[in-house]
Amino acid sequence: MQVDVPNIIEGYAHGYFLMADEQTHSLGWYASRQRALIPLDNTFRYPKSLQRVLNQEKFTIAINKDFAGVVAGCANRETTWISPELEEVYFVLYEHGWAYSFEAWQGDELAGGILGIVIGGVFVGESMFYNIPDASKVAMVKLVERLRDRSFFMFDAQIINPHLERFGAYEVELEKYQKMLKKALKCRCQLL
């Protein structure tokens, strides 16, 4: 399969995201009238029980230590929109410096992580997973800290769900999202 990296980055830069159809596994571009964002300001929150886990320092954080492991973890679900073809796209984007894995480790074990794409000042969260309870939640908190420290403008979570709402995720209309995305793309941020 030939992966057209500039075309894919252009698609994300216009507010689309890739998904594979659960039935046919065919890869396609999608958009949503409402876009879910994780706040990078003081409206970001997390469950109080997670603060105890953070204080215990049970997990260490790494970036791109095991990109393949994070992709596999995110795709390993009963129903998934991450097809083998989309996995290949992520690997090519990773090789070209666009895709990242933000990981939580417990000792030598990959405990959980978040898969995303960085373009300018936006982190597009593609998926997350955990092998050890609370690992992906800790990764989320630490990722938000990292994005703040690196002056990122936006954390795009694409589609809202109850889990993301626990972290203060909110939806914006497509028109507002597009305006925010244009600003974010002008930023020059580095995750590493």
108-124 confidence digits (pLDDT tens)? 999 999 999 999 999 99
For residue 22, the model assigns a pLDDT of 73
If you write DSSP's letter for every residue of 135-149 in order, what string do you get? HHHHHHHHHHHHHHH
What residue type is assigned to position 188 of the chain?
A: R
Strand, coil or helix: what is 79? coil
**Measured between alpha carbons, how far is 127 from 158 in angstroms, rounded to an integer?**
10
The per-residue pLDDT for range 2-56, each reduced to its tens digit, is 899 999 999 999 999 999 887 777 899 998 899 999 999 989 999 888 999 999 9
Closest CA to 117 of 84, 86, 161: 86
Residue ranges and CATH numbers for the domains of the chain are: 5-186 (3.40.630.70)
